[in-house]
Chains A and B, each alone.
Chain A
Amino acid sequence: QLQLQESGPGLVRPSETLSLTCTVSGGSISSVIYDWAWIRQPPGKGLEWIGTISYTGDTYYNPSLQSRVTISVDMSKNQFSLNLSSVTAADTAIYFCARQGTWTATVDWCFDYWGQGNLVTVSS
């Protein structure tokens, strides 16, 4: 059974960089069928897609965050990571990593496996 687990600090100071890692177990991150994504959810609010990376390193970012976001992949560790720079209180959210299908996947480009989420609070 595929599992995803986010890890990283729960508190980040304003203007600093938020860094999270997602470790994938029970399956390989090196897949042509699936990409890997970050999604966030501010407390009590809706879901916001942050960005997606393929195992080849191709990335797609939300235009609203693009200038501050970097997603990378480490196939040797079966992990992918999120860096979000210059954070403010508005970046306080639960950050989820997820597996995303592609056109050749059964689920198209939907998110079919999710991590449990990592609450990150931006505060001094």
Chain B
Amino acid sequence: DIQMTQSPSSLSASVGDRVTITCRASQGISNYLGWYQQKPGKVPKLLIYGASTLQSGVPSRFSGSGSGTDFTLTISSLQPEDVATYYCQKYNLAPFTFGPGTKVDIK
């Protein structure tokens, strides 16, 4: 099965900073990747699908890129409400594996 890794596992940044999270697949998955945001105590929320397509209603400061094995989620200007854990998820084939998550908080 394809394994998903994320880096860093956690980060702390200031409001207004540009934040980048990396997701890597152990084999190529084309652009079959989604990103989710899970705020503390809340349900995960789909942010991006197809590696780069923003889900309806998601702020434009979020963006995704990548294809094959390497992907990034970028928050162009970190806001206090972005404190959350972010997960990538592959869906080229089952199993639909999630990455281990990246916890983002405010410095």
The residue from B1, B55, B91, B97 contacting A112, defined by CB atoms under 8 A apart? B55
B34, B87, B91, B97: residue with the most chain A Cβ atoms closer than 10 Å:
B91
Give the docked Cα–Cα distance between A63 and B95 (Å).
Answer: 7
Give the docked Cα–Cα distance between A108 and B91 (Å).
Answer: 8
Which bucket holds chain A's interface residue count? 20 to 34
A40: min CB distance to chain B, Å: 11
Q: Confirm or deny: B71 has a beta carbon within 8 angstroms of a beta carbon on chain A.
A: no
Number of interface residues of B (CB under 8 A): 23
User: Do residues B50 and A108 form an inter-chain contact, with CB atoms below 8 A?
Assistant: yes
Which A-B residue pairs are the 10 nearest by beta carbons? Answer: A109-B91, A110-B34, A60-B94, A47-B98, A110-B49, A114-B43, A49-B96, A46-B101, A107-B49, A112-B46
Cβ contacts A to B, 13 pairs, < 8 Å:
A46-B101, A47-B44, A47-B87, A48-B98, A60-B95, A63-B1, A96-B44, A107-B49, A110-B46, A111-B36, A112-B46, A114-B45, A115-B43
B interface residues, Cβ below 8 angstroms from A: 1, 32, 34, 36, 38, 43-46, 49-50, 55, 87, 89, 91, 94-101
